[in-house]
Amino acid sequence: MTLMTILRRVATTRWGTVLFFLALVFSAVSACSKEGAGPAAKGAAVRGPGDAATAPKTYPHAFSQMATWDDGLSEMSYYDAVDTIYGKPRHYIRMMLLNREWLNPVQRVKAEHPVLSASGKGAAASIPVFKLNIIEQIPTQNYNYRYMVTVFLNRGTLEPEKLAASSQEWCGTTFKEFQWLPDGLKVRGFSYFEGEGDRQWSLPARPVVYPAEALFVVARAAAASKEDLSLRVLPPARSTHLVEPIPRDVRLEVAKETQSVRMPFGTFTGRRVTVTGAGKHGPTEFTVETAPPYRLLTYRGPGGLTLSLRYQERRAYWDRSKPSRFYRQGAAP
């Protein structure tokens, strides 16, 4: 005999009708509370360790969940770049590589064999991330400046997980590492400059602060969703010096109107994303393609840095049998 049958029989008694009604209300409330609860609900974003109950609204599905990212290739973008070093504009090619990966949640490195779900033996699931590499070699009078920044952004929320940055020029090398851990942001820096040396800082886990370099992805996601965002952003890690990680409140404002942008390999429709509140250098501006894959077309940032997309390809750059269509083998920028 089922519970509902018993309740129906009880309902024939004097107080049974009241009890039966209360049971139905309790059953309906229980069903509603279970439906859509937890990360298994439709459209819920899954984070790795250290996730908070609520995350900032920085996850526009239109960008992060595109099937393009799951083709196993890297988006390789080549930009005509101009930056000012030693008081003069320097012209060069900046490369930006973006592809999906998984992050080992314990070692905080690329998971070569990702664990897609936690096992009963206690193995933590790998964290799905975007990996952004920014690679630059900038000529000056007597030697080149070399910068490389790697940013790992959680694919579920676009919140940062890790950053590593290094600079090399003939005077010396500077290295920085940022790790967003459950107990807060840990920053380490190693510089050859006197007065800097080896430094460490700690910041609270919440509110999340973003590295400036993450905006090259977040601005694309904002343009795809056509939604403004308010974030706390750190100074750029791309530098030969150590800079104290003091965040600033900024706002990404997505323009309603679009514009035609002519590039060396075609004409595109773009949308401006302006970052205000970024400091004394004035606003930072991104122009993002209005259609998938929402490519970054142009950029104007602090210190006179400008970017203009010259070419883009999707390629497994780690496969030495597949050459680039932009540069010959042995002559990568």
Got the DSSP string for 211-261? Answer: -GGGHHHHHHHHHHHT--EEEEEPPPS-SSS------EEEEEEE-SS-EEE
Instruction: Compute the distance between CA of residue 89 and CA of residue 112 in angstroms, rounded to an integer.
Output: 40
- Sign of torsion, CA 233 299 285 317? negative
Range from 4-18, 50-64, 83-97 carrying the lowest mean pLDDT: 4-18
The tens digit of pLDDT for each residue in 132-156 reads 999 999 999 999 999 999 999 999 8
Residue 42 has pLDDT above 80, yes or no: no
Q: Other C-beta atoms within 10 Å of 257: how many?
A: 6
| Bridge partner list, 90 | 83
- Res 264: pLDDT: 87
When pLDDT is cut at 50, 70 and 90, the band that residue 281 belongs to is: low
* pLDDT tens-digit map of 1-38: 544 444 444 444 444 444 444 444 334 333 333 333 33
Kindly state the tokens that stand for 148.
């490389």
Q: Minimal CA–CA distance to 163: which of 233, 219, 70?
A: 233
Place of tokens 């600033």: 248
Residue (of 279, 287, 200) closest to 236 by Cα position: 279
Percentage of the chain beyond pLDDT 70 is 79
Query: Beta partners for 300?
Result: 285, 306
Mean pLDDT of 290-313: 95
Region 104-109: mean pLDDT is: 91
Q: Which among 118, 131, 134 is positioned nearest to 158, based on CA atoms?
A: 131
Extents of the domains making up the chain? 61-315
**pTM above the 0.85 mark?**
no
- Residue 56 has, within 13 A of its CA and on its CB side, a CA count of 19
